Amino acid sequence: MKNAEDILNDKQKGMVTVSSGHTVLDAIRIMNAANIGAILVEEKGEIAGIWTERDLLHHVGEPEFDPATAKIGDHMNRKIHKAPGDTPLIKLEEMLLGLFVRHILIEKDNRNIGLLSIGDVLRASLLEKDLTIKELNSIASWEYYENWGWGRKQTKKPQA
C-alpha cells in the first residue's frame, strides 16, 4: 500500500510557498500560475500557515478586505494538519475526512517534504484500487466454471 511519500513522489510537484508579507493578490497570482488551490505561508523561513481558495471565499465579502493590500499572513490559517511521510494511504483518507480538511503537510526527518491535497490522495486511492481489480481479474478466471449453473451467461466458443 502506498504511503504519503510515495504519493508525493508520484505527484512530482514541489511545495509552493509565499512570504507572510505578500499580499493576498500576490498569493492568488502564484496559485493560478502553479494551478493549485492552496499555498503554504512562510515566516522567518518556516512554514507558519496555509491559505486556500476557501479562505478567499470567507474574506472576499468583508467590506475592509482588499486582496491588493491585505497581507496573506493576516488571513492565513495557522492550524496546519501534518502527517509523517510513512503514513499509509488509508490513514491519509481517514485524516482528510475525519478532520474535514483538504490538505495535509507531509514531514520526514523533522522537515516538510510536501503538501498533499484531497485530490492527490483520492487519485492514489483510485489507482491502487484499479491495480487491485486488475490483479484479481488476472488470477480469477471463469473458464472452468462455465457449466456450474451459477446463472452466468454461457459464452459460445468460436468455431474453428
CATH number of the CATH domain containing 123: 3.10.580.10
User: Global pTM?
Assistant: 0.81
Q: Minimal CA–CA distance to 59: which of 27, 82, 81? A: 27
Residue 70 lies in a domain: yes
* Poorest-pLDDT segment among 12-16, 18-22, 87-91, 129-133: 12-16
DSSP state of 151: S
Average pLDDT over residues 115-131: 96
Where residue 143 falls among pLDDT bands split at 50, 70, 90? low
pLDDT over threshold 90, residue 25: yes
Residue 153 lies in a domain: no
Phi/psi of residue 49, nearest 5 degrees? -175, -175
Instruction: Please give the Cα distance from 30 to 67 (Å, whole number).
Output: 13
pLDDT over threshold 70, residue 17: yes
Residue 158 lies in a domain: no
Q: Are 105 and 80 in contact (CB under 8 A)?
A: yes
Average pLDDT over residues 14-22: 95
Residue 149 lies in a domain: no
pLDDT tens for 58-114 read 888 888 999 999 999 999 999 999 999 999 999 999 999 999 999 999 999 999 999
For the chain, the domain total comes to 1
Strands of the chain, DSSP E = 17-19, 38-43, 46-52, 82-84, 103-108, 111-117
Where residue 13 falls among pLDDT bands split at 50, 70, 90? confident
Residue 66 lies in a domain: yes
Average pLDDT in the chain: 90
| Per-residue model confidence (pLDDT) at position 151 | 60
| Per-residue model confidence (pLDDT) at position 140 | 74
CA dist 63 → 20, 60, 66, 67 (Å): 22, 8, 8, 11
Domain encompassing residue 65: 4-139
Residue 121 lies in a domain: yes
Q: Is 71 helix (H, G, I), strand (E, B) or coil?
A: strand
